[in-house]
Amino acid sequence: MYKLFFRLVFKRMDPEKAHYLAFRWIRLAARTPVLRTFVAAALAPRYKELRTEALGLRMHGPFGLAAGFDKNAIAIDGMAMLGFDHIEIGTVTGEPQPGNPKKRLFRLVPDRALINRMGFNNEGSLAVAARLASRNPVVRTTVGVNIGKTKVVPEAEAVADYVKSTERLAAFADYLVVNVSSPNTPGLRNLQATEALRPLLTAVREAADRTVRARRVPLLVKIAPDLADEDVDAVADLAVELGLDGIIATNTTISREGLTTKGALVNETGGLSGAPLKERSLEVLRRLYARVGDRITLVGVGGIENAEDAWQRILAGATLIQGYSAFIYEGPFYARAIHKGLAARLRTSPHVTLADAIGADVRKKANAA
Ligand SMILES: Cc1cc2nc3c(=O)[nH]c(=O)nc-3n(C[C@H](O)[C@H](O)[C@H](O)COP(=O)(O)O)c2cc1C
């Protein structure tokens, strides 16, 4: 049904307009108690075997919504209602900003991919913090807060910008993510170099601890798939050294390798996401797990279209997994299908619990070597 609807309606609309239209419907459904109860009951993860403990948090399932879909924290209940067990809001920047000029979001339908150069369009950390403070949750979920650098802030002042967002937002975050991997903010990815990343993560950690004394807010970093393998290792080592809680792998790629879509669309500037990202994201995840093992929680994201993709990420070392682009192509039953298929795979696997399955492929390979 959704695929037909996508072909007849969404595909003919400007992608960003379609996004906001879908967003409005989801929010409306979440505000209508009967509909919300009905949809949430149908789509929520309800498999005992998928109950997950990650980042010190108890979750009903490992699959969540990746950052970028709900930048301003306006549809948390709606997305939770659709069965995403954690919602990562943001990227939120220190100051509000409009993002890049439109058009800035493109669908590569034959590749089941998207290119975006949104440029962190968001209302800024003050406004988002106020919204989170007044939030009255009606659907249970875990909320991650993803923060990034304001475009006009020079790289040399980036730390202060992240710290400002941390001070405003950490209290509302079940976990906090330092995003240094979007290709759409000039210079942002330079912050992935360990000389820049060390002071940044240290300052954000201190700011979170200073602001939230009652608990330790888990801190993660989100990395790009375009990092060289040695740089992936360097981030992994730094994360262990700093006692970071997690790494999210990966953001969108600037690569255009292997696309089948014809025409000028593939040359649009921005980050590529969806199916073509699958292989590299999985590779980065495997590499991270081989390096850090169980010492750090890994979150797998990039090209996860179905339960098999999600299962492969678990076996490669992910404790949590996320998706964005495939939601556009698969529709409202996407999260439910992933949780359902994961539970089925776990039952027929040699692993007793989901925790046993995490990284099993990488461990097997290491033992065989
Ligand atoms: C339109 C769009 C906007 C995005 N915005 C953000 C963002 O603001 N912050 C972020 O960390 N990632 C952002 N992402 C990246 C996603 O969170 C995710 O890492 C990436 O799309 C790979 O997952 P996918 O293949 O399932 O889409 C965005 C992705 C898309 C498609």
Q: Give 23-59 as a DSSP string.
A: HHHHHHHHHSHHHHHHHHHHHS---GGG-EEETTEEE
pLDDT reading at 360 higher than 80 = yes
How many whole angstroms from 182 Cα to the centroid of ligand 1? 8
Grade residue 327 by pLDDT with cuts at 50, 70 and 90.
very high
- Residue 120 CA, distance from chain mean position: 14
Residue 65 β-bridge partners: 87, 323
pTM (2 d.p.): 0.97
What is the CA(349)–ligand 1 centre distance, in A? 31
- Stronger pLDDT, 126 or 43, i.e. the higher one: 126
272 Cβ inside 6 Å of ligand 1: no
Distance separating alpha carbons of residues 89 and 137, to the nearest angstrom: 14
DSSP string, 247-314: EEE---BS--TT----SGGGGSSSEEEEGGGHHHHHHHHHHHHHHHGGGSEEEEESS--SHHHHHHHH
Q: Is 302 in the pocket of ligand 1 (CB under 6 A)?
A: yes
- The more confident residue out of 276 and 192 is 276
* Nearest protein Cα to ligand 1, atom 14: 68
Residue 13 has what pLDDT? Answer: 87
At 4 the pLDDT is 79
Catalytic residue status for 182: yes
pLDDT score at 6: 72
Is the shortest distance between the CB of 68 and ligand 1 below 6 Å?
yes
Report pLDDT for 8.
74
Residue 195: both structure tokens together: 């000389």
Gap between the Cα atoms of 119 and 98, Å rounded: 8
Task: Give me the pLDDT at residue 5, please.
Answer: 75
pLDDT for the residue numbered 296? 97
- Mutation pick for ligand 1 pocket among 145, 252, 282, 304 (CB with most ligand atoms within 8 Å): 252
Of 232, 215, 214, 212, nearest to 223 (Cα)?
A: 232
Question: What is the residue whose two structure tokens read 């199916």?
Answer: 275
> Are 250 and 284 a contacting pair, CB within 8 Å?
yes
- Per-residue CA distances from 338 to 52, 80, 218 (Å): 15, 14, 25
- The whole-angstrom separation of Cα 282 and Cα 216 is 29
